[in-house]
Amino acid sequence: MQEVDQVIVERLQSGVPLVAQVSQYIIQAGGKRLRPALLLLLCGALDVQDRARFTLAAVVEFIHTATLLHDDVVDESTLRRGNATANETFGNPASVLVGDFLYSRAFQMMVDVGDMRIMEILANATNVIAEGEVLQLMNMHDASLDEASYLHVIRSKTAKLFEASARLAAILAKADPATEDACATYGQALGTAFQIIDDVLDYDGAASEMGKNLGDDLREGKATLPLIAAMQRANATDSALIRKAIESGSTDQLDAIVQIVRDTGALEVARAVAAAEAERAMTALDSFPANEHRSSLLQLAAQLLGRRT
């Protein structure tokens, strides 16, 4: 990860001061670096020594960061990782344009690696992510969204980059198709579980721990799995209250809605879905050689379910 951070610092350089300033602001704001770590762990599990792994780990972090910059503008977010968002600090135009810079810089770095298969995977991933973002936008304030539609969005918007990061390790290892598919399955399942738990924490976390404003999903009119499950299990009055809040994007009744979500067992339902995805991720590694990297990947999937931030 130190090697990856060095690549990130080097490739954030720009002759335009504001580009470097905004880029460094969001990159240095923290974050889990989960996608680069995933790529590196799988490279370790498959005994990849190619230094291109550091470049590609930085590439997926740049793509992820670009989506964050754009997301925060679309969602009108003001807080991320306990800090003011880039759009809150520098304004929407700067955030959008620097997001574009990070996307294009990522593609420059892909070219440096010189592998068309890698470029194909990342180009397809960024396209699917963009489609997922638009799909989520179309679903805003739609209280009729079901679990299948919700999962389709998060597998496009969030899990796709996890999947691509994992698949890149198999490409660098020159692995057989079965191993590549196993990597992709692990990444997709891990990313899906990660997003479900993220949505759970919007109703079961503390702002001081999460580093974002609780109730943001509701304010944005997002029908996430905890709300979907709660509406299915609540009485008619409580279900109507949640439906109205999603459709209006109002958080006036946030405390009451959080209580309904908790009382109906909706959080447990969502956590069970996340647990099934984590189990799917771990099963995908059954054929991998036993080493410390595989052990870490198994531990990562298991510990994901207990995350609080």
Q: Which residues contact 305 (CB under 8 A, 6 or more apart)?
A: 193, 197, 271, 274, 275, 278
Q: Which of 80-89, 143-152, 196-205 has the highest mean pLDDT?
A: 143-152
Which of residues 90 and 206 earns the better pLDDT score? 90
pLDDT averaged over every residue in the chain: 92
Residue 213's pLDDT is: 66
Domain 2-304: which topology? Answer: Farnesyl Diphosphate Synthase (1.10.600)
pLDDT digits (tens, 9 = 90+) for 153-167: 999 999 999 999 999
Give me the phi and psi of 238, to 5 degrees please. -65, -40
pLDDT digits (tens, 9 = 90+) for 205-217: 665 454 456 788 8
User: What average pLDDT does the segment 161-189 reach?
Assistant: 97
What are the domain boundaries of the chain?
Answer: 2-304
**High-pLDDT (> 90) share of the chain, %:** 76
Is the pLDDT confidence value at 271 over 80? yes
Q: pLDDT band for position 118 (50/70/90)?
A: very high
Q: pLDDT band for position 113 (50/70/90)?
A: very high
Q: What is the model's pTM?
A: 0.92
CA pair distance 19, 17, nearest whole angstrom:
5
pLDDT digits (tens, 9 = 90+) for 27-72: 777 678 999 999 999 999 999 999 999 999 999 999 999 998 998 8
Is the pLDDT confidence value at 291 over 80? yes
Q: pLDDT band for position 26 (50/70/90)?
A: confident
Residue 123's pLDDT is: 95
